Amino acid sequence: MKIFEHTKIEFEELPTVTENGKRFYKTPDGLLYPSVTTITSLIGKDAILAWRKRVGDAEANKISTQASSRGTRMHSICEDYLSNKQLISLSVMPDALAMFKSIQPILDECIDDVHAIEAPLYSHHLKVAGRVDCVAKYNGKLSIIDWKTSSKQKNEEWIQNYFIQCSAYAVMFEERTKIPVPQLVVIIAVAEDSPQVFIKKRNDYIKEFISYRNLYDQQNGIRV
């Protein structure tokens, strides 16, 4: 088992608040910001609605719940592993463990100097908040690292929202710490297949995030 080096950075916990059926993070100064995933859920929303209509709500809910549960389990394993905790294979579901094992060599070879894991972040500039999967050096360059699971290989054009999401975390991290994060890394564990790794630049995607952030305000009657 590899021992990961850590650069310790403390982040203040952000409570969540529900207003009018919507979930927000509350910043230390009392402001309520929507989550990053709330904003990026606007991307491809029409395609998702069409898919739900095609397969039916019951089947769509079943698939979404299974995918979410599997992703949560693998996230937990990754968090423990990078925190240098001993893995207890009997305590996790076989599907999540198999997916983790597929990406473990990538973590061992490429990741070090961990700055944050599941850290709460927010930005007054973007007016958004959320929890970042990981901030660490990937092949020597400080990166936002995001874990994903999938039942099949992804084409890059299908997952632009992943890169847009990570660009927001990069800005939030820099705003909180004054440490720039130029690189985005998305690692996808694929069921019964080889994992995928996508490496991108923050500055190629942050303008798109800002556009969707403004769209969110427009749709909710908030004057920008």
pLDDT tens digits, residue range 55-88? 565 654 545 566 666 667 888 899 999 999 876 5
Residue 187: Cβ-neighbour burial (10 angstroms; 0-12, 13-18, 19+): buried
d(CA 64, CA 161): 17
The whole-number average pLDDT for the span 133-156 is 95
Number of structural domains the chain divides into: 1
Q: Is residue 62 part of a domain?
A: yes
Query: 122 and 176 in contact (C-beta within 8 Å)?
Result: yes
d(CA 169, CA 201): 12
Residue with the two structure tokens 């929890």: 131
Provide the percentage of residues in the chain whose pLDDT is more than 90.
67
Dihedral of CA 215/116/10/204: which sign?
negative
Answer yes or no: is pLDDT of 115 > 80.
yes
Q: Is residue 10 part of a domain?
A: no
- Please name which of 22, 84, 161, 30 lies closest in space to residue 169, comparing C-alpha atoms: 161
Q: Say which CATH number the domain at 37 has.
A: 3.90.320
Q: What are φ and ψ of residue 104, in 5° steps?
A: -55, -45
6-41 per-position pLDDT tens digit? 998 999 999 998 877 678 999 999 999 999 989 998
The whole-number average pLDDT for the span 178-191 is 96
Dihedral of CA 63/33/208/181: which sign?
negative
What pLDDT score does 51 carry? 43
Q: Is residue 3 part of a domain?
A: no
Query: 135 and 119 in contact (C-beta within 8 Å)?
Result: yes
Q: Is residue 5 part of a domain?
A: no
Task: Indicate the residue type of 104.
Answer: Q
d(CA 43, CA 61): 19
Residue 19: Cβ-neighbour burial (10 angstroms; 0-12, 13-18, 19+): exposed
Residue 87: give the domain boundaries: 16-219
Answer yes or no: is pLDDT of 50 > 90.
no
Structure tokens at 10: 């403390």
Triad 76, 181, 179: Cα angle to 5°: 105
Q: Is residue 72 part of a domain?
A: yes
112-126, 173-187, 208-222 — which is least confidently predicted? 208-222
Provide the percentage of residues in the chain whose pLDDT is more than 70.
83
Q: Is residue 21 part of a domain?
A: yes
Confidence of residue 156 (pLDDT cuts 50, 70, 90): very high
Higher pLDDT, 51 or 131: 131
Q: Is residue 7 part of a domain?
A: no
Q: Is residue 11 part of a domain?
A: no
Query: 110 and 143 in contact (C-beta within 8 Å)?
Result: no
